[in-house]
Structure 1
């Protein structure tokens, strides 16, 4: 490995446009994985046929959050996403605390996906009567491929993710069209958007699992140094990511309601949760036939792979930025001479993931409930805390620097304030229903939910002035 750590080269470069960055963040959101996992949870535990409205509400909350987020972008001339924004708005001490929360949240969801994809590959192989191989073997095989791609220049990962994502979205669009063209017993119905329907059950649970499905959308700012024109690219990519992800989820969940019927969709979702069926694959089989079901099964695996690769790249860049500011060992700020990537940070991230996955495998933790469920819960709490703190940072920044509030009252005051209120409500929903996210006991769920808050406190208390941290 050849890497450079001198100050003049400790910066990533690239020519990613909005499309390339959107591929990275939409892949992190893993649309097909969310449809297969979060959709039946939102329907079976939440408000049934009204679940599409939960995804719409979650998208609107995050869209309002994005307004203040991108308005502040020109005043945060560096990569680092939430960490950089909070540092500029609330100071170094809070910035370091949020940096720890970000690393915890992204690492947790990445580890969870490694567990999920290991189980999914093993389940697929068993379905086709292949050899019975333990899930960790598949997880480590995927980890090795991610290590190679993450070590090289970001544009290689963007191309891989672009192909996987195009196939993933393409098959779901076809599925949506066919389900609506050949509807279930109730015909093409818009009952999902009837207040009498979407207020039944618990819409809060639908919103909760919808928010979980958006994890990773904010990573647009992490790729700032590798963007072609950051001032234009980052805002466009952020808005596009939220709108595309939100529309994809809402339309697809509605299409499933049309295919199954508003009166039947809750029962089908509950059967999936009970382990007596698979809402995504069974409905696909009934709609597109055996071949279609097999294709979706394969693309579900590529969706998981795209997700874990995207998070690997995000974490490596977070470490890279923090190291450049003296908050982590300087070696993590190395840029590869040939690949122009954060190569050493990528290697460290690979080793970290391998150690954690290995420990969980040795302990015999269930890959779905134990690994994916628990880690997704930690990540969800962490991400809501990150966005809430960032919205507060935006408000404080523009109140202190009124001369920089060129975006107007709406984007610098009103939208961030609305985002704070929406995210506070979201945090309450997540915490009050946390056992549903983790699938564990109340005691275990409490411990897991406390991890991001503990990270925030540790980072805040352990703060010391850094050599180059931006102060706004």
Structure 2
């Protein structure tokens, strides 16, 4: 791959300039970006989904410590990522950084991996949203309809919000996020005031024996998957106020908020159930343990609220990833990679309306294919697409870390050695460990006992996406990513 020999940004080629008239409009502050990014992480969905699975199939009562490890590694990654932000004055997140550090071919490859990962995850979460909403409606005496009917209703709402100005999505996500965080914090408070549950407060989070018990690697895998989306703060650069300050602040606040919330709430869930019983309960009822625990501490009303907010949490997650994917398409089109009309913002809303519709089209095709093929929406559709996304995002984190180190090896005016080299190098080491853990557990993640067609298929798709970078770079020499 080609490496730039100069740190100075190259001027855009004719026809690819990111002119003011083609920029997205918005005035997102730190809080607005934080709401969008944290909503993508789906806090309630994580506490009700990956956390029970991490407890059941990972390291039991020691699982909450996996969030501490993941947070620490991602904070190290963020040091270099945010330090480089002021040298990357374009919205584009991963691929702009990879392009700046490792060259245009690698940058385009990273862009295609990112787009594949985000579109796959957006489509896959509909496989959770549809059945969850169907179950909720039926529980209140509503009609029993196929999961895809409810997924289609959610899809229509996502298309509507994605077409409008980002600030509307930000407000909707803020309301949904505050509601889901509030109910989990209410459960946390109830467990604390009850003295820590039937066995007191769990000691698993600080016990080496518990932390290393079972399959700690699998626990770390679920912890890593719970953070997907935090890195997308830079995607909203064009719509942010004072992005050189807003983006780094939003990145750190999002990461610390997500990590702290997951660590605290997973520890208190273990405590609320009881350290000696939590593995058994999580294994037997991974999908309902959060609701039953909430009912035990907050009554039937609390259980009903959790059931409702779990559905809205999934919707918020889908909407957040749709906003991210739309902006990837918009930015790539504005730089001559995709068709130019996709880079035209809406005259009234200043939104990437056409790019949003393009993203929606891909997601619609994937969901329709799942229905026609008769795939189970959770066990097959969500799991397979989630496998693509999880591997893809972690690989992008690794590529970005390498790009940061390569860039600052040439650029000495970026801050202290800690920010330019030491922290990014430590973060890269941790991320490489995460890649090894994910690859080791990928078959289980996509529902296979060992490496088979789906595991190899996930890897093949990602390799092809990255390999498309050099091909497109040659085919479109005028395309410039930064």
CA distance in 1, matches of 2:307, 2:481: 46
Q: How does 1:67-146 map to 2 (within 5 A)?
A: 67-146=79-158
**Misfit runs of 4+, over 6 Å:** none
Structure 2's unaligned 5+ residue stretches are 1-16
CA distance in 2, matches of 1:231, 1:135: 43
Q: How does 1:341-420 map to 2 (within 5 A)?
A: 341-402=351-412, 404-405=413-414, 407-420=415-428
1:439 partnered with 2:413: no
Per-residue CA deviations over 1:35-88 (Å, capped at 9, x if unaligned) read 111011111111000000011111111111110000000000010000100000
CA RMSD of aligned residues (A): 1.4
Alignment match, 1:450: 460
Is the Cα–Cα contact under 8 Å of residues 95 and 108 in structure 2 kept in the other structure?
yes
1:170 partnered with 2:170: no
Per-residue CA deviations over 1:357-414 (Å, capped at 9, x if unaligned) read 1111111111101111111111000000000000000000000122x23x21001001
Is the Cα–Cα contact under 8 Å of residues 377 and 449 in structure 1 kept in the other structure?
no
Q: Which moved more, 1:444-453 or 1:326-335?
A: 444-453
1:295 partnered with 2:308: no
Structure 1's unaligned 5+ residue stretches are none
Q: How does 1:236-315 map to 2 (within 5 A)?
A: 236-273=249-286, 278-315=288-325
- Report the 3-state secondary structure (helix = DSSP H, G, I; strand = E; otherwise coil) of the residue aligned with 1:97: helix
- Report the 3-state secondary structure (helix = DSSP H, G, I; strand = E; otherwise coil) of the residue aligned with 2:374: coil
CA distance in 2, matches of 1:95, 1:279: 42
Size of the alignment, in residue pairs? Answer: 462
Per-residue CA deviations over 1:185-240 (Å, capped at 9, x if unaligned) read 22123332111211111211111101101110011000000001101100000000
CA distance in 2, matches of 1:191, 1:143: 41
Q: Which moved more, 1:129-138 or 1:224-233?
A: 129-138
Q: Which moved more, 1:379-388 or 1:434-443?
A: 434-443
Per-residue CA deviations over 1:308-347 (Å, capped at 9, x if unaligned) read 0011110110001000111111011011110011111111
Is the Cα–Cα contact under 8 Å of residues 229 and 321 in structure 2 kept in the other structure?
yes
CA distance in 1, matches of 2:408, 2:358: 37
Alignment match, 1:469: 480
CA distance in 2, matches of 1:110, 1:463: 27
Q: Which moved more, 1:43-52 or 1:120-129?
A: 120-129
1:185 partnered with 2:193: no
CA distance in 1, matches of 2:92, 2:481: 11
- TM-score norm. by structure 1 comes to 0.95
Is the Cα–Cα contact under 8 Å of residues 327 and 466 in structure 1 kept in the other structure?
no
